[in-house]
Structure 1
Amino acid sequence: MALASPTTVKIPASSAGKTMLLPFILVTSLFFFWGFVHNLDPILIPHLRKAFRLSNLQASLVDSAVFIAYFLLALPAGFVMRKFGYKSGILIGLILFAVGSFLFIPAANTREYIFFLGALFVIACGLTFLETAANPYATVLGPESSATQRLNLAQSFNGLAALVAPMIGGKMIFSGTDYTDAQLAAMTDQARNAYLQSEADSVKLPYLILGIVILLVAILIWVTKMPDTKEEGSKDGSGNPLHAFKHRHLTWAVIAQFFYVGAQVCVSSFFIVIAMKAANIKETVASYYLGLGYGLAFMGGRFAGTFLMKYIAPAKLLTIYSLINVLLSLVAIFAEGMITVYALIGIAFFMSIMFPTIFSLGIKDLGKDTKLGSSLIVMSIVGGALLPPVLGYIADLTKNIQYGYSIPLVCFVVVAYFGWKGHKIRTA
């Protein structure tokens, strides 16, 4: 499957064969790290909701702070990639990632919710650079015919992060103690402040460790010789978003990715909340279901999807998986008890291939618009900022978190259409 025309990107001949392996391993590690920090957000949402006594709508601003950065930084990140290459973009992303992680320490010390949102925004700025670079970079580090499978393989390590991050985060962040508003009101001011401060402080260590690891990865990539793409001059309007949107399949990919990311964030971010409400389990137990259940299903789905794409066209598989998730969303909305939790785990399995598949189908045959198309698809991740607050609003309005999952249901309908017809290449 050709993702870019031969004139768009050029990998040096000396980079062929085994010299591609180390760069691909390093790039693949980035998928794990940004997956790790993203899958800490479902831990942060119920934790900060408890520490700051937030509503569902207020807690959803965690997602908004993260994914609004993708919208604001995607085009600048794409410009950096076109001007200086993928490696420079990756290094900028890793530095911002580390700085944002370290900002969790002063945020916890001040115990101000807005500072946590600011730290998350800085991290997300770094992730925007990483995803804008790493997704197309993975597709060109090897034969064009296996680009979609290679991107899904790299994204599988994003799934591995979905497995381990909730368990590690839940272990390090959750205290296992949750007081009601009445119990807090009955405490002395000193005892209440001590409890809330301890809840805020519990995020310091995991994010400090994460920031140090990310800096070490940045140093390793900096000293490693990596192939880079060279974009040749263009006279066809490349660099103009309106010109890029002449590709109808790119337009539909941007729409589909907006709704897919919104669905994924809604399902994962409120997983613990809905598990606690629908199945009446504790937050620590719910975090293990999020990791061993949701995370393992997501990771397994990535590997299974990569295998199945050898026999089923990626677009067709995307359509089938989306329709299955429409049915599972109905179960999550109307079922009771652990069936609801199992439905969410099933959704994780079937949505695991959606991001990389939409991405690779969307940038197929874009020619010199490939890097700009990549930026536009990454910009569409803003769906993760806008749709979770809608879920939170519905949950607060109806007093039922499950009704909010009508939002992912609608999202999967849109993705199914992209897999069915929207992905077909049409150029205006």
Structure 2
Amino acid sequence: MASAPSNTVAEPGSSDTGSIHQTGNFKFALVSLTSLFFMWGFLTCLNDILIPYLKNMFELNYTQAMLVQFCFFGAYFIVSIPAGHLVGKIGYQKGIVTGLAIACVGCLMFYPSASYASYWMFLSAFFVLASGITILQVAANPYVSALGPAETASSRLTMTQAFNALGTTVAPFFGSWLILSNLPHSEDSSIAAVHQASTVQVPYLMLAGALCVLAIVFMILKLPLLGVKAESSSEKTTGSAWKYPHLVLGAVGIFVYVGAEVGIGSFLINFLTQPEIGGFTEAQAAKYIAYYFGGAMIGRFVGALVMQKIPAGKVLAFNATCAVILVGVAMFSAGTTAMWALLLVGLCNSIMFPTIFSLALQDLKQHTSQGSGVLCLAIVGGAIVPLLQGILADSLGIQLAFALPLICYAFIAYYGLVGSKAARPQTV
């Protein structure tokens, strides 16, 4: 088993690692961080546009097409541990700048991938891009949680995640307009492949420029210094975050949630183009993804307010139960009923990630940083579950393959009601 990130995450230059530094304005910091949540949501959602695009261009089956998500979310598993150590050494703000720079390089890699029309080069670009986003996640999620009272961490993280959902809502229109609607047609398949690949060059160069600008902005911003209490020679950290059952179950929850959300999003365009469902063109179907992620955006704004009054675990269980019902309807119906049932799952997804994340980190104390690294490792569910769903789709068809996300949501309902309240180990 790989070692977990260091449990010391204190900003360099801190004179008091045991408290949150009151330098700067927390509201200003939260507003600044929302741009990051927007950007990585935007970039992640573009995968759903590129999957059917690359599937057609390289004549892939569903399993092969899901390698996009396997490489993208596999980076979370590989990079999360080093990212935790990196953020622990250089601090949250420099970690954010590093993540933005690496994501910028990943976007630039799409240019040669398109020039050579190489699927494997595309997969490499996805991996590098996701590596940068992973560092952003490891730095930004706990940073937002720490920017205020612990009892409102779920609400605060849900609010910033709403801007992540805004990015995923805008991205389908961007991808449909600049990528899917501009696909050239040619009788020569090799020429068509090169021309199709070239349509991603300008969009990803634009994104690389935006990431570069953000990196420069975060280099010069004055953000609050904060950190988790560090080890000292007289107070050594004992035990491990892995002994907390609610964290372990929360990691499973993150795994299945990300897997289910990514799996549904990855198959949406192909699902909606089915004659018995929507019969849309790919460019038309891409725009409907905005409803899926738009529901998540609206739900996060509402959820941030609801969880001020209702326990987060109950809200999580309610949303997951609704998702189970909707996925079941999408599996066993047709036409607009199946289409809108699946799209409405996005509304149920809204509060799941930030709520599971914050519930799993409760009461970890000096193990909070390690726990954050464990949860970020669990995002690898976005690599595994869609690939398994692709195998099911190749053998059973797209609709029946949604049985896998249905099972994932059932576990999340259990976590909200029971798993998040698992007994905490006794501390000495």
Among 325, 328, 333, the alignment partner of 1:327 is 325
Matched with 2:423 is 426
Matched with 2:285 is 286
Matched with 1:257 is 254
TM-score, structure 1 as length reference: 0.91
Do the aligned residues in 1 keep the contact of 2:231 with 2:237 (CA within 8 Å)?
A: no
1:207 aligns with 2:208: no
Range 274-283 or range 404-413, more displaced: 274-283
Equivalent-residue separation in structure 2 for 1:120 and 1:131 (angstroms): 16
Say if 1:113 and 1:322 are closer, same or farther in 2 by CA, change over 3 A.
Answer: same
How far off its partner does 1:14 sit? Answer: 2.9
Among 5, 20, 23, the alignment partner of 1:14 is 23
Range 300-309 or range 125-134, more displaced: 300-309
Equivalent-residue separation in structure 1 for 2:212 and 2:80 (angstroms): 22
CA deviation profile, 1:99-124 (whole Å, cap 9, x unmatched): 00000000000111000000000011
Do the aligned residues in 1 keep the contact of 2:105 with 2:129 (CA within 8 Å)?
A: yes
1:375 aligns with 2:373: yes
Among 145, 165, 174, the alignment partner of 2:151 is 145
Do the aligned residues in 2 keep the contact of 1:50 with 1:178 (CA within 8 Å)?
A: no
Say if 1:388 and 1:146 are closer, same or farther in 2 by CA, change over 3 A.
Answer: same
- 1:54-93 aligned at under 5 Å gives the runs 54-93=60-99
CA deviation profile, 1:159-197 (whole Å, cap 9, x unmatched): 111210011111101036698xxxx8xx3xxx3222211
CA deviation profile, 1:355-392 (whole Å, cap 9, x unmatched): 00000001111111111100100100011101111111
- 1:394-409 aligned at under 5 Å gives the runs 394-398=392-396, 400-409=397-406
SS at match of 1:310: coil
Among 407, 411, 414, the alignment partner of 2:411 is 414
Matched with 1:247 is 244
TM-score, structure 2 as length reference: 0.91
Equivalent-residue separation in structure 2 for 1:296 and 1:118 (angstroms): 29
How far off its partner does 1:139 sit? Answer: 1.1
Do the aligned residues in 2 keep the contact of 1:8 with 1:368 (CA within 8 Å)?
A: no
Which consecutive segments of 4 or more residues in structure 1 shift more than 6 A? none
Q: Counterpart of 1:218 in structure 2: which amino acid?
A: A
SS at match of 2:243: coil
CA deviation profile, 1:105-149 (whole Å, cap 9, x unmatched): 000001110000000000110011001111111111122232111
Range 339-348 or range 223-232, more displaced: 223-232
Q: Counterpart of 1:405 in structure 2: which amino acid?
A: F
Q: Counterpart of 2:308 in structure 1: which amino acid?
A: K
Q: Counterpart of 2:288 in structure 1: which amino acid?
A: Y
Equivalent-residue separation in structure 2 for 1:105 and 1:219 (angstroms): 22
Equivalent-residue separation in structure 2 for 1:411 and 1:162 (angstroms): 21
Equivalent-residue separation in structure 2 for 1:178 and 1:215 (angstroms): 30
Among 86, 103, 108, the alignment partner of 1:102 is 108
1:171 aligns with 2:170: no
Matched with 2:219 is 222
Do the aligned residues in 1 keep the contact of 2:326 with 2:344 (CA within 8 Å)?
A: yes
How far off its partner does 1:86 sit? Answer: 0.8
Equivalent-residue separation in structure 1 for 2:149 and 2:44 (angstroms): 30
Q: Counterpart of 1:366 in structure 2: which amino acid?
A: L
How far off its partner does 1:284 sit? Answer: 1.1
SS at match of 1:26: helix
CA deviation profile, 1:373-414 (whole Å, cap 9, x unmatched): 00100100011101111111111112x211110010000011
Q: Counterpart of 2:157 in structure 1: which amino acid?
A: L
Q: Which runs of 5+ in 2 are unaligned?
A: 1-7, 9-15
Among 342, 349, 355, the alignment partner of 2:353 is 355
CA deviation profile, 1:17-74 (whole Å, cap 9, x unmatched): xx22222112111100000001101101000001111100000001000111000111
Q: Counterpart of 2:279 in structure 1: which amino acid?
A: N
How far off its partner does 1:13 sit? Answer: 2.5
CA RMSD of aligned residues (A): 1.9
1:45 aligns with 2:51: yes
Equivalent-residue separation in structure 2 for 1:105 and 1:164 (angstroms): 22
Do the aligned residues in 2 keep the contact of 1:249 with 1:425 (CA within 8 Å)?
A: yes
Range 134-143 or range 254-263, more displaced: 134-143
1:129 aligns with 2:135: yes
Do the aligned residues in 2 keep the contact of 1:279 with 1:340 (CA within 8 Å)?
A: no
Do the aligned residues in 1 keep the contact of 2:22 with 2:225 (CA within 8 Å)?
A: no
CA deviation profile, 1:286-323 (whole Å, cap 9, x unmatched): 111111x1122111111111121122111000001101
Equivalent-residue separation in structure 2 for 1:294 and 1:176 (angstroms): 23
SS at match of 1:423: helix
SS at match of 2:363: coil
Equivalent-residue separation in structure 1 for 2:296 and 2:183 (angstroms): 29
Q: Which runs of 5+ in 1 are unaligned?
A: none
1:313 aligns with 2:311: yes
Q: Counterpart of 1:259 in structure 2: which amino acid?
A: V
Equivalent-residue separation in structure 2 for 1:67 and 1:233 (angstroms): 32
Say if 1:8 and 1:223 are closer, same or farther in 2 by CA, change over 3 A.
Answer: closer
How far off its partner does 1:237 sit? Answer: 3.8
Equivalent-residue separation in structure 1 for 2:242 and 2:62 (angstroms): 36
Say if 1:317 and 1:96 are closer, same or farther in 2 by CA, change over 3 A.
Answer: same
SS at match of 2:240: helix
Do the aligned residues in 2 keep the contact of 1:272 with 1:283 (CA within 8 Å)?
A: yes
Among 385, 389, 392, the alignment partner of 2:390 is 392
Do the aligned residues in 1 keep the contact of 2:184 with 2:192 (CA within 8 Å)?
A: no
